[in-house]
Amino acid sequence: MTITRRNFLRRAAAGGTAAVAACATLAPAGAEARENLKVPDNAVGLLFDGTLCIGCKACMSACKEVNNLPLEDTIGEKLWDTPLELSGKTYNVIKVYQSGTMETKDKAENGFAHIKRSCLHCADPSCVSACPVSAMTKDKQTGIVGYDKDACIGCRYCVAACPFGVPQFQYDTPKPEIAKCQLCKHRMAEGKFAACAEVCPTGATLFGPYKALSAEIDRRRAMKPGELAEFPRRTPDSGDMHEKAAPQYVDYVYGQKDAGGTQVRYLSGVAFDRLALPMGLPERAFAADSETMQHTLYGGMILPVVALAGLVTAAWRGSKNHHDDDDFDMFDHPEGGHK
C-alpha cells in the first residue's frame, strides 16, 4: 500500500474523530449542564416601545455625541450621518418596517413600524463567554456588558458568538476596536444615564432598573387598547408623562427569554419576525451550552489526551505500513520511496 501525504492526513483526521467519540464515554461522571446566568438584582436596562417611536432618530445623534463616534456616510453626500445598520461607527440605529401603502403606524399590513438596534446586554452573554482575554465583561452589579479595548486582541470571537449580531469590528482604522453600546456607563458616575433614553421625546426608549422596567412592561400590556394612557419619558419614575391612546401590543416581550433573556426588552404592535430581530432563539443561553460542552470535553484533560492518542495511532499505522510495504511513498518522496 502506498502512503501519500493525503492518506496520512486522512488517517490523522480519522484518529481525531475517533478521539472525540471516545471522549464522550470518558467524560467525568459528575459533569452537569450549567444553568443560565440570572439578571443581577441591581441590574439596569432599557425598554424600547416601538408604538411610541416616531422615527426622529434623536437617540442616534445623542449616542454619537456622548460616545465621540464619527459620522457615517452611506449615501455618498458627505453631509449627514446615514448609518443603515450597526457598525464600527454606530452603536444604535433606528430601522423602519414598511408594508404596502404604509397608511397606518404599527400595522403589519399596509403599515409601518420602528425598531431600535443596539446591544441587548444579555443576562448570560455569549460574547463574554467567547472572549479569551476578558475584554468583554459583564458587570456583577448593573449587568452591563462592557468592553475593554486595552485587553482586546482583535480575535473577533465576540462578533461570531453574539446571536443578535451586535458587536462590530472597525476595519477602516489602523487601531481597530470592537464597537458596541455599553449603556453609557461612563456617564453614570455623573448621575447620568443612557443618552438614547435621555433625549427620547416620547418615552419610546426608557432607561431604569430592570425590575422597574419589568413592572412598566406589565402595566402597558394590561392597558386597554384605544383608551388614553400615560407613558413616562426617560425613566419609569421621572414623573414626566407623555399621553397617547394605548396601543394593541403583540403578545410577546422580546428579550424576556430569548437566548437566556436580555436587559434590553421590546414591546411592539407588529410581530417581531418582521422587525429585523432574530426569532426562534432558545430560552437556554448559548453560553451555557458552550461552557457545559467545554467543561465536559476538557475535564481532566480528557479530550487533549485522547486526541493525541488518535494521532499517535494514525502515525503508528503509517510507520507499520512503511516497514511492511516495499512501495511505501511517504509524502511523495522524490526518490521513489523506501528501497
Q: d(Cα 95, Cα 41) in Å, to the nearest integer?
A: 32
**What would the pLDDT profile of 108-130 be if each residue is shown by its tens digit?**
999 999 999 999 999 999 999 99
Q: Alpha-carbon distance 267 to 220, whole Å?
A: 9
Domain at 44-283, CATH from 3.40.50.300, 3.40.50.150, 3.30.70.20, 3.40.50.1100: 3.30.70.20
Q: Grid coordinates in use for 339?
A: 528501497
Mean pLDDT for each consecutive 10-residue tract of the chain (339 residues)? 57 52 49 88 98 97 96 79 93 97 96 98 98 97 98 97 97 94 96 97 97 98 97 97 95 98 98 94 94 68 61 65 50 48
Is 167 strand, coil or helix? Answer: coil
> What angle in degrees, to the nearest 10, is found between the helix axes of 5-26 and 302-324?
140
* CA proximity to 255, closest of 145, 91, 122, 93: 122
CB 93 within 8 A of CB 86: yes
**Whether 136 contacts 145, CB under 8 Å:** yes
What CA dihedral angle connects 179, 184, 187 and 189, to 10 degrees? -100
Nearest Cα to 201, choosing from 249, 248, 240?
Answer: 240
Distances (CA, A) of 129 to 120, 126, 280: 15, 5, 21
Give the pTM.
0.80
Adjacent-strand bridge partners of 261: none
- For 113, the 3-state DSSP assignment is strand
Q: Strands of 111-117's sheet, edge to edge? A: 93-98, 111-117, 104-105
Look at residue 32 in the predicted model and tell me its pLDDT. 74
Neighbours of 331 (CB within 10 A): 11
| Domain range annotation of the chain | 1-36+284-339, 44-283
Report the C-alpha gap between 23 and 41 in whole angstroms: 39
As a residue count, the chain comes to 339
* Contacts (Cβ under 8 Å, ≥6 apart) of 188: 142
The 10s digit of each residue's pLDDT in 198-219 is 999 999 999 999 999 999 999 9
The CA distance from 334 to 171, in Å, is 45
Q: What confidence score (pLDDT) does residue 304 get?
A: 62
pLDDT reported for residue 300: 55
DSSP per residue over 63-84, as a string?
A: HHHHTTPPP--SSS-SSS----
| Nearest-angstrom CA–CA distance, 226 and 188 | 37
Strands (E), the chain: 44-49, 93-98, 104-105, 111-117, 136-138, 145-147, 168-169, 178-179, 205-209, 228-232, 241-245, 264-267
User: Helix or strand or coil: residue 158?
Assistant: helix
Question: Which residues 6+ apart lie within 8 Å of 168 measured at CB?
Answer: 86, 87, 88, 90, 159, 178, 179, 180
Residues 83 and 148: beta-carbon distance below 8 Å:
no
